[in-house]
Amino acid sequence: MTCFFVNRFSKFRNRLLTPALAALLLAGTISHKSLIAKEENSMPTRSELPSTNKWNVEALYSDPSHWAQELTTIQGQKGSPRWPELKMFQGKLSDPKAVAAYMEKYLKLDRMLNKLYTYAHLRMDEDLGNDEFKKNYGLIISLAHDFQLETSWVEPELLSLSDREIQRLMQEPSLAPYRFALERIVRMKPHTLSSEKEELIALSGKALDATGKAFSALINADLTFKPVVDSNGQELPLSNGTYLSYQTSPNREIRKQAFVNLHEKYASYLNTICELIQGKVNAHVFNAKARKYPDSLTAATFGNQIDAKVVTRLIETIRKGRAAMGEYLDLRKEVLKVDQIHAYDLTAPLVAESRDKMTYAEACQNVIDSVAPLGAEYQNALRKGLLEERWVDPYESARKRSGAYSSGCYDSMPYILMNFHGNLRDVETLAHEAGHSMHSYLSKKNQPYIYSQYPIFVAEVASTFNELLLLDHLMKKAKTKQDRAFLLCDMIDRIRTTIVRQTLFAEFELKMHQMVEQGQPLTPSLLNHLYASLLKDYYGDALAIDPQLEVEWARIPHFYSNFYVYQYATGLSAAMALYEKAIRSTEARDRYLKFLSSGGSKYPLDLLKEAGVDMTSSAPIEAALKRFGELVKELRNNL
C-alpha cells in the first residue's frame, strides 16, 4: 500500500524556496571575504539561539534518546519480515475482517513512522553538520524503504480478487472508514502488477532515483561558479543560492555577469546533465510502460484522477496569452530604458522598495491580520501557532538548511522552516508557508489519519491563497503610488513566474517524455533547441534569446520530479479564482474552509469543484491571464 510518510517527504522537499542568505549581497556592496566572515563570526550556533527563536520540536520528543527508544520499539525484528504482524495477513485479504484488522495495524505503524520521520528531518535541517541528526535521518529513511517493500504485496493481492469479492469488501460496514482508500486501489487495477513484480518495482526505487540524486549533488555540492566583479573590482560569490539576489539588483552589469557566469558553468556540463535528465525521464517511461499506461503523463496523473487534458489544456491556454506578456515586457523595456529585454532583465526591480524592512514580529502580525477575511476561528488558530505554540523556526543559524517549507505529521503541530531577513519576499514566504500549515492543521483536525494528507495538486492553492490575502492587506496599507507600484510588480511577477514560466517548464517536460517514448535520444543540442523554441513561443520577440538562456533547462531541479511543475500553475490559478469569490461571499468563504478541512478524502478535482472552481475548464487559467493584463495596466498608471 501507499506509504503515507514517504509521500510526505517528497511533498515537503519539493516545496523548498530560494535561500535567503543572498539578501546580504545587496547591490554588490558586500565582498566574498566579508560574507564569509559574517557567516563564520556572526552566524549564531543552534545552542546560542533562545528557545523563543526556535520551533518547538521538543513537543514531538523531548530529546533524541526518546526518539531512539521509539525507533527501537517500532523497527520490528531483524531479517525478513520485519513486521510479521503485517505479513500474517498475506493470502487472507478476501476476508473483510482480515482487511479491517490489517488496515488498523498498518495505519498504526505508518503513523508512528511518520512521527519518527518528522522529528528526524526537522532536527537534521536545524544543523546539517550534526552527525547524530544525519545518522538518525538515514535510519528512518532506510526503515521507510523497508516498510514500503514489505507492504508492496497488499495492492496486488486486493486486486487479484474477483469483482464479486471486491464488491463484498466495498459494502462491508466495518470497512466504511477505508472505502475511499479502497476505491482508489481498485481504480488502479489495470496498472497494478503481480505481487512478485510489485516487489521488484519497489526494489528498483533506489536505483531509479539515482540520477536525480546525482543531479542534486552536482549542482549543490560540486559546481562552483566564476564570481561576479563589481565596479570597485571586488569579487562577489556566485552560487545557485545567491543568483536570484543578483537578478534583482538594480545594477544591470551585476545581473548580466551573474546570468552569464552561472549558465556558462552549466553549459560546460551539458553532456553530463543531459544524461542525468535522460536517466530520470527513462525511469518515468519505464514505470509507465511496466504498469501499462499509454504514456508517462497519464501515469503521473492517473492516481489522483486528473485527466491528462488538464495539463495539455493549461499549456494551450497559456500559449494564447502571449499578447499580455508582450505588453508587460514592453513596459519593462520602457521603465528600464533598454533596447531589448534579456533574461537578466526579467526580475530587475521596476520600483524601489520604499517600505522599511519588517521585524519578524511585525511580519507575523501582518500575516495574522491579513487572514481576517477567513474568519475568527482560522485567524485565532494561526495567531496561536505563530505567537504562542512556536510553529516557526524563523532565523538563520550556522549550518541550518536554507530555504523554507511547511512540514509536520498527524501527531504534531505544523512546523515552518524560515530564514527570515525582513524583506517583502520573506514576509510573503511566511504567509505562503502559513497557508500550507493551516491547510494541514484543518485537515488533521477534521479528518482521520488515513485522509489527513491532501494531494499535491491542491497543496499550492492554500499557500498562494494566503499570499493573495497578504498582498491585498499590504495594498490597503500602501501610502504612496511607489508602495502600490512595488506591490503590483510583485503580483505581476508572481503570475508570470508561477503560471506562465511553470507552464513553459511543463511543456518542456512533456515534450522530453514524448521524445523518449518515441525512441528519440535526448542530446544537449536537441534540448537547447527545444527550450529556445518554447521561450520564443511563450514570450515572442519581446525577449532576447541569448545563447546562455538556451541552457537554462539544465539547472532546473523540478525536471527530476514527475510532472510536478504544472501544479504550481494550476494551484495559483485555482487560488485566484477562489479568492475572488471568498472575499465577497460568506458562503464561498465557508466552501473554501471546508475544502481546507477535507484533506485527501476525495479526489483533488472534486475537492476544488466543491470549493467553487472547475480545473477541468480553461476558465480559471483565462481569468488569471486576464487579471495579469489588468495588473499591467494598473502598474503603468502607478509608475
Nearest to 494 by CA among 470, 511, 473: 470
Q: Cα(99)–Cα(89) distance, rounded to whole angstroms?
A: 8
Q: Which residues pair with 406 in a beta bridge?
A: 416
**In the structure grid, which three cell numbers stand for residue 584, read together?**
465577497
Residue 442 maps to a domain = yes
Residues of the chain with pLDDT under 70: 1-42, 354-355
In b/e form, how buried is each residue of 106-141, taking b as 16+ CB within 10 angstroms?
A: bbebbbbbbbbbbbbbbbbbbbeebeebeebbebbe
- Asked if 594 and 449 count as a contact pair (C-beta separation under 8 A), the reply is no
pLDDT at res. 79: 81
Q: Please enumerate in sequence order all residues whose Cβ is within 8 A of that of 318, keeping only pairs 6 or more positions apart, or say none.
A: 499, 500, 503, 504, 538, 569, 621, 625
Report the domain count for the chain. 2
Q: Cα(455)–Cα(438) distance, rounded to whole angstroms?
A: 15
Q: Which residues pair with 392 in a beta bridge?
A: 416
What count of other Cβ atoms lies within 10 Å of the Cβ of residue 240? 18
**In the structure grid, which three cell numbers stand for residue 519, read together?**
525512441
Q: Cα(263)–Cα(513) distance, rounded to whole angstroms?
A: 24
**In the structure grid, which three cell numbers stand for residue 228, read together?**
561576479
pLDDT at res. 21: 25
CA 138 to chain centre: 22
Residues 564-620 pLDDT 10s: 999 999 999 999 999 999 999 999 999 999 999 999 999 999 999 999 999 999 999
Q: Cα(226)–Cα(550) distance, rounded to whole angstroms?
A: 19
- Residues spanned by the domain of 393: 357-449
Cell 515572442 belongs to 540
Name the domain boundary from 424, 449, 474.
449
Name the domain boundary from 159, 192, 225.
192
pLDDT at res. 77: 87
Which domain CATH number covers 136?
1.20.140.70
3-state secondary structure of 375: coil
pLDDT at res. 479: 87
Sheet with 415-417, edge to edge strand ranges: 392-393, 415-417, 405-407
Q: What share of the chain is helix, strand, coil (3-state, %, to 5)?
A: 70, 0, 30
Residue 502 maps to a domain = no
Degrees (nearest 5) of the Cα angle 448, 453, 454?
Answer: 120
Catalytic residues, which ones? 433
Nearest to 453 by CA among 149, 1, 2, 60: 2
Looking at 291-410, list the stretches that DSSP marks H as alpha helix, in order from N- to C-terminal side: 296-301, 309-319, 322-336, 360-370, 376-387
Q: Cα(454)–Cα(444) distance, rounded to whole angstroms?
A: 10
Residue 510 maps to a domain = no
pLDDT at res. 36: 33
CA 309 to chain centre: 22
pLDDT at res. 355: 63
Residues 452-477 pLDDT 10s: 999 999 999 999 999 999 999 999 99
What count of other Cβ atoms lies within 10 Å of the Cβ of residue 318? 27
Residue 65 maps to a domain = yes
**Exposed/middle/buried for residue 168 (C-beta within 10 Å: 0-12, 13-18, 19+):** middle
Q: Cα(463)–Cα(446) distance, rounded to whole angstroms?
A: 19
Q: Cα(504)–Cα(318) distance, rounded to whole angstroms?
A: 9
In single-letter form, the type of residue at position 283 comes to A
pLDDT at res. 198: 84
Q: Please enumerate in sequence order all residues whose Cβ is within 8 A of that of 68, keeping only pairs 6 or more positions apart, or say none.
A: 136
**In the structure grid, which three cell numbers stand for residue 280, read together?**
530520470
Residue 391 maps to a domain = yes
Name the domain boundary from 393, 428, 449.
449
Residue 91 maps to a domain = yes
Query: CA dist 530 to 314, 507, 520, 534, 546, Å?
Result: 19, 10, 13, 6, 14
Q: Cα(130)–Cα(399) distance, rounded to whole angstroms?
A: 9
- Asked if 243 and 250 count as a contact pair (C-beta separation under 8 A), the reply is no
Return the C-alpha torsion angle 51, 55, 57, 58, nearest 10: 30
Degrees (nearest 5) of the Cα angle 585, 591, 597?
Answer: 140
